[in-house]
Amino acid sequence: MKLYEKTLESKSIFEGKVIHVKHDTVELENGDTAMREIVEHPGGVCIAALNENEELLFVRQFRYPYKEIVLELPAGKLEKGQTPLENGKRELLEETGAVGREYMTLGKLYPSPGYCGEIIHLYFCKIDHYENQQLDEDEFVNVETIPLKKAVEMVLNNEIPDAKTQVAVLKTAAIVNQTRNLL
């Protein structure tokens, strides 16, 4: 099987501040056609920032689509003209006031590949120092630290439903444990 779909027609449905929604007609590998609804998103970044006590920085914020407060690692959407890492450093500073060092990529995450083209870039860093938070005008967050071991338990106990946070916490724990074993 070729596992390929050819776009025959693409129709813009909605152009928003952050997302763009399209309705596409595609040709399948067997020659049949199908419809695809696509949400285009500029992408995002998520930072697992670890302090000297092996605690991760988290933010709690109200997330409108779920109508609830969500516990997450610092994250945000990508801004044009900056690399994902530059965006991550900016988001970490804006949301928490932390400045990191020794950044390491944790890869990328496709949150919902069936309909959304968003790619979230994941990073790990150690916290170097703190400056002042620089929240956006419409951004309200509570910053807290959680020991890495407890954060892993929270992920495994379904206490952190956010996918990017789950993946970044577990990858960070694996890296920290692997580093300990090498010493």
User: What residues act catalytically?
Assistant: 137
How far apart, in whole angstroms, are the C-alpha atoms of residue 169 and residue 38?
29
Q: Say if strands 44-50 and 75-77 run parallel, antiparallel, or are unpaired.
A: antiparallel
Bridge partner list, 83? none
- DSSP letter at 13 equals E
> DSSP state, 171?
H
Pairing of strands 6-15, 55-63: unpaired
For 55, residues 6+ apart whose C-beta sits below 8 A from its C-beta are 145, 146, 147, 148
